[in-house]
Every structure is written in structure tokens, then in C-alpha cells.
Amino acid sequence: MRASDHLVDGVNKAWKRMRASTPPLARVSNKRVQSYRRVREQETSLLIRKIASSSPNHTNLSEAFQKVTNDVVCRIALGKKYSGGDGEGIVFGEIIDALIELLGTFSVGDYVPWLGWINRINGLDARVANVAKMYDEFLQRVIEEHREKGEGGGDGSAEDFVDVLLQFQRESEVKVEDYTIKAVIEDMFNAGTHSTSTALEWTIAELIKNPRTMKTLQTEVREIGKGKDEINEDDIEKMPYLKAAIKEGLRLHAPTPLLLPRAPTQDTKVLGYDVARGTHVMINAWAINKDPASWGDDAEEFRPERFLDSSVDLRGQHLQFIPFGAGRRGCPGITFTLAVNELALAKLVHKFDLGLPGGVRVEDLDMTEASGVSVRRKSPLVVVATPAA
């Protein structure tokens, strides 16, 4: 069994077995996310320094955000960054790029099972098998390296996830296979990298396109950050408008517009329709998050104020707002995504005024969406970052 096999499973025996054999400490809990605060603060500081070094020239924020989220996840999950130009860094980059491409590829067999043979003819099955093999072998090498050097061999302030999982494997009364460890790590990358950077990218784009909203956010962040060299995570709790802006960005641009398929465990009836046991049901989060019945006539507008006096949360308790899904198949990386994006946005707004290159007017900023594993921007977000006065 490969680690990647669980990605297409529902809540079945294999899924339950994998969850039961995963230690609570290795799940993306609030406590676990907070233990990696130092990693987030270091990597977002590097992001700000990189942007500062490019000023007053153009900065490709799409690339910068992808790098910082990859580096944070690598340090947390694997104990070190794999973004360099060495052999393993290049291999890892190729694997992630190929995985993102495949996850955004339409598979006929997923929707019409009896036409699954088409995936063999068009080469999709072979591509999936090749990427899965590369990913599996890479993670196995990481596991073996951790075994050789022992616990705590990473460069973070806490044990990385591989350390925690290997310790659990040694001590658990339940047999934990290596493929379970690899599956947990894969979940972290699938949930925590591309969707995190894409969400941040869209939020910044909306703020640039709405100068008055950006000004309100700048006022809040710079007042809290007055006299400070850098914003830290303690400061974020004093920034309700920033948190509202992040929520509004996720509402308008849900990272995954169609959630992972759900499958009822028994025959059921929904809104008068019979849904047979095991039927794959697609949930359109994109439409739900923009429904005028829930959000009013301005549902298509970027207006963070709608969340300032609202109890609506994004963790699956309010079904009119489910950018990360809900229930047992909800995204496990919610807390991680929010922690990274809130800190990166606060530091960026604290240090820079953001404009568009070449005299492009903000109202002409291209907001075209492109399909894929997440709804990313069709064109990269390129800005001119000027140090704030």
C-alpha cells in the first residue's frame, strides 16, 4: 500500500484505521500549531527581508508566498527546508509541482466509473502512479534519515512531525506502518501549502483592488505596530479588521471550490432526492460562500466589515461559510493556514505600501481565476512594494 492511496478513500475501514493509529500530538491541533510559532515568525521575517531587498523593483508575490508556505511546512513536517538547489530540493520541487498539476486534472473515472478506462488510454493513470512512486520514495528517504539521526534532528524549535510519528511508532501498542506516517505527512502538504499561499495571494489582491479597505487595515496594523521593528503573533490578537479581511478573502476565494466528495454510509434523502449509500456527492463551497440569501446583495463584494460584528466562523460550525469544509472530512490545516496568513499579511502591511507596476490602475488589476487543485489567480500577483513612511 502506498501512502497516497488514502487520498481517494472515504470514511471507510482504511481511513478509520489510519486515524486510530495516528497520535493526537501529530494532528494539526491548536497546541501543535502554536508549538511552531518560532518557525512561522522566522520564515515570514525572511519573506519581508526578501521583499525589502527587491524594492523598488517588482516583486512576484505569488512565488514569494508559495516559497514561504512550502518552507514553513517542510520545517514543521520534515525538520528542514527543501527549497534549495541541491538534489533533494530539486526532486521535492518537481514532486510538488507534478502533484499540484495532477490534483487539478479532470479524471473521467472519478465521475463516471465505467469510463475509468479512459484514464489508462490518455496516460493519466500512468502519470499518477509515477508521481505517487516518486513521492513515496522521497518520504521513505526522509523517514530513514530521521531514524539514523534520532529524535530532534531538525532545525525548528520543536520536534518535527516525523520525529513525533516515529516515536509513536516505536511506543504504540498498535502496529503503525511507515505508509501511515507518510500519509499523515502527505496530508500536511496537500492541505497546508498551495491552498495557504493561494488564499493569501487572493486576499492581498482584493486589498490592492480596494484602496479604502487597504487603508483601514494599514491604520489598524500600523497603530498596533507603532515603534516595533516587527509584528509578532501576540499582536495579531489585537487586529480584528485583519482577521476579518482574511475571512472575507476566504469567503470570496475559497481555496477548494468543490470540497472533497462525501459519500453517505446508508441510503438517505436530501431535499426530496434519494441518495444511495456510497454515492459520491460534490459540495459547491464556492456557491455557498457567495449565496446572496446568506450574505446579502453585496455578496460578490470584498467587504471585511461584514465579519466584525458577526459570530460566523469558518471552522465548519456555520454552513453558510465553509471554505475549509465541515465535519470529519474538513480540512485539518485550518489553524495552520490562518496562523501563517495572518502573520504574513500583518508583517507585509506593517512594512510596505503595495502598488501595481507599470502605472496599472488598481481597478484594472486582473482578477481572473484559473482552475486547479485550488482556485488560483490566472496571472501572478506582481507588485511594487514601497517601504511604509
116-154 burial code (b ≥16 CB/10 A, e <16): eeebeeeebbeebeebbebbbebbeebbeebeeeeeeeb
pLDDT, residue 3, reads 47
pLDDT at 33: 76
For residue range 114-168, list pLDDT tens digits in order: 888 899 999 999 999 999 999 999 999 999 999 988 754 444 446 788 988 888 8
User: What pLDDT does 13 receive?
Assistant: 58
Classify residue 364 as exposed, middle or buried by CB count within 10 Å of its CB (0-12, 13-18, 19+).
exposed
One-letter identity of residue 209:
K
The Cα-based distances of 321 to 137, 190, 287, 305 in angstroms read: 38, 21, 10, 15
AA letter at 198: T
- In the DSSP assignment, the letter for residue 254 is -
> Helices in the chain by DSSP H: which ranges?
13-20, 30-34, 37-54, 61-78, 87-103, 108-111, 117-121, 124-149, 161-171, 178-192, 194-209, 211-224, 233-236, 240-252, 285-288, 292-295, 334-351
- In CATH, the number for domain 3-387 is 1.10.630.10
In the chain, domain spans: 3-387
Tell me whether residue 331 is annotated as binding: yes
HSE value, Cβ hemisphere, 13 Å, CA-based, for 281: 18
Residue 48, pLDDT score? 96
25-82 pLDDT, tens digit each: 445 566 777 888 999 999 999 999 999 998 778 999 999 999 999 899 899 889 888 8
Contact (Cβ atoms closer than 8 angstroms) between residue 349 and residue 221: yes
Extract the residue ranges of the chain whose pLDDT is less than 70. Answer: 1-30, 84-87, 151-158, 191-192, 329, 332, 372-373
203 and 323 Cβ atoms separated by less than 8 Å? no
pLDDT at 193: 78
Q: What is the pTM of this model?
A: 0.86
List Cα–Cα distances, 82 to 30, 79, 189, in angstroms: 25, 10, 13
CA-based R_g, the chain, Å:
21
Residue 17 near residue 9 (C-beta atoms within 8 A): no
